[in-house]
């Protein structure tokens, strides 16, 4: 097994001038009716330093 050492320092997001956490939270499939639960998850990610939230819905097949 290989260990990946990753600095938590923000990194530039392309040429946008925006700096983000080096790991993204893939939020695809974050769904449901409970807004408070969804908000708690997002706030927990932000509290952990995650600032790159990937909300794309194009990954994988969307069938049961």
Q: DSSP secondary structure string, 20-48?
A: E-SS-EE-TT--SS-HHHHHHHHHHHHHT
Residue 42 belongs to what domain range?
Answer: 28-64
Q: Would residue 46 count as lying in a domain?
A: yes
pLDDT tens per residue, range 19-61: 999 988 888 777 788 999 989 999 999 998 899 999 887 766 6
Q: Would residue 8 count as lying in a domain?
A: no
The total number of structural domains in the chain stands at 1
Q: Would residue 5 count as lying in a domain?
A: no
d(CA 11, CA 3) in angstroms, rounded, equals: 20
Q: Would residue 20 count as lying in a domain?
A: no
**Given this model, what pLDDT does residue 62 score?**
62
Q: Would residue 42 count as lying in a domain?
A: yes
**Given this model, what pLDDT does residue 1 score?**
72
Handedness of CA 43, 46, 48, 53 (dihedral sign): positive
Q: Would residue 62 count as lying in a domain?
A: yes
**Given this model, what pLDDT does residue 2 score?**
82
Which residue is catalytic, options 35, 48, 59, 60? 59
51's tokens: 């600032």
55 noted as active-site residue: no
**Given this model, what pLDDT does residue 5 score?**
82
Residue 41: strand pairing partners: none
> Residue range 7-16: average pLDDT?
91
Query: Within 10 Å of residue 62's Cβ, how many Cβ atoms?
Result: 9
């Amino acid at each position: 097994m290989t260990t990946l050492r990753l600095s938590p320092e923000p990194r530039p997001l392309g040429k946008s001038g925006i700096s983000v956490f080096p790991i993204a939270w893939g939020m695809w499939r974050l769904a449901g009716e409970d807004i408070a639960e969804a908000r708690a998850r997002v706030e927990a990610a932000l509290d952990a330093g995650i600032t790159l939230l990937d909300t794309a819905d194009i990954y994988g097949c969307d069938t049961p």
